[in-house]
Amino acid sequence: MKLKNLVSILSLFALALVTFTACQSEQNDELLEEEGKVSPEILAKLEAAYFDTSRAFTTNFMGEEGVAVEDMFFTYAQIDELQPIDPLAKHYRTTNLVSGLPRVITISVDPALGTLGSNALDATITMYNNLGLRISFSRVAFGQRGRNKANIEVTEFYELESGGFITLGRAAGFPTRKGDPAKGFGINSRWFELSIAPNVNELAGTMAHEIGHCIGLRHTDYQTRQSCGQNVNEGSAGVGAIYIPGTPTGSDTNSIMQSCGPAITFNNNDRIALETLY
């Protein structure tokens, strides 16, 4: 849900638009290769952790320097923590989870995402809190500092589509070793300009997906990324890809944690996964 394959979902008219923008973004890609080029050493670490680095680039995200890969962002320190583990390890969670349960996680959204972003976050919070987990979410004001700063901040970024894909959201990693959720995620406001601009429920679904990463869920199709029209092994990152008992080991096309959607609500397996962890 973080990525959308534009070719598969756009009309012919829009396809022409994408072809045009793809040409445009080829130039951008060239620029990115110079300005945002990831060093071979870092690429090797990400690939050893079985991330798809085909569109990886260096960037500043939520105030920190690092690398965007798939719908994730990792600082260099986080990348150093990625260690290759058993690639055969089979609803998949990271090694670190949010601890200190029961726990209320505060969350805020950048006003730059407008009324749509605000309403979508409220809908996402309701989605999670209706599950009755030992973690729940409570909305607070955006832009607070210190102790009042939200545990998870929803920010805005703007990024053009590339190679027929648009990145809808980007999570700032997975839970920390201290047991805190990742500090937030971004929503690509470029999405709002396209013919596939989201309604409140679609945006809420993407937010729920990115929160899933922040609290330790990996993609349910991490082995193949087949929801993106790819067939690659995303593997089990050093952050872990630990099988969650009771969930399918194979394809689960209605899971909200597919790499490229289209689900916008939790399916039964998503609920089992979250109930098992939290």
Interface residues toward Zn ion, by CB under 5 A: 2, 71
d(CA 66, CA 47): 15
CB of 9 to Zn ion, least distance (A): 17
Q: What separation in angstroms does the CA of 170 have from each of 70, 102, 107, 223?
A: 8, 26, 16, 19
Yes or no: say if 63 and 188 are a contact pair by the CB < 8 Å rule.
no
CB of 17 to Zn ion, least distance (A): 25
Place of tokens 């980007």: 170
Q: Which is nearer to Zn ion, 27 or 231 (CB)?
A: 231
CB of 207 to Zn ion, least distance (A): 11
CA 261 from centre of chain? 11
Yes or no: say if 212 and 8 are a contact pair by the CB < 8 Å rule.
no
Q: Shortest Cβ contact with Zn ion: which residue?
A: 2
The 3-state DSSP class for residue 185 equals strand
**Interior/surface letters 1-27, b for 16+ CB within 10 angstroms, e for the rest:** bbbbbbeeebeeebeebbeebbeebee
List of residues 6+ apart from 214 with CB closer than 8 A: 152, 171, 172, 173, 174, 175, 181, 182, 183, 184, 185
User: For residue 117, what are its two tokens?
Assistant: 């972003």
Yes or no: say if 181 and 217 are a contact pair by the CB < 8 Å rule.
no
Give 177's DSSP letter: T
CB of 213 to Zn ion, least distance (A): 6
CB of 205 to Zn ion, least distance (A): 12
The 3-state DSSP class for residue 205 equals helix
Q: Which is nearer to Zn ion, 1 or 121 (CB)?
A: 1
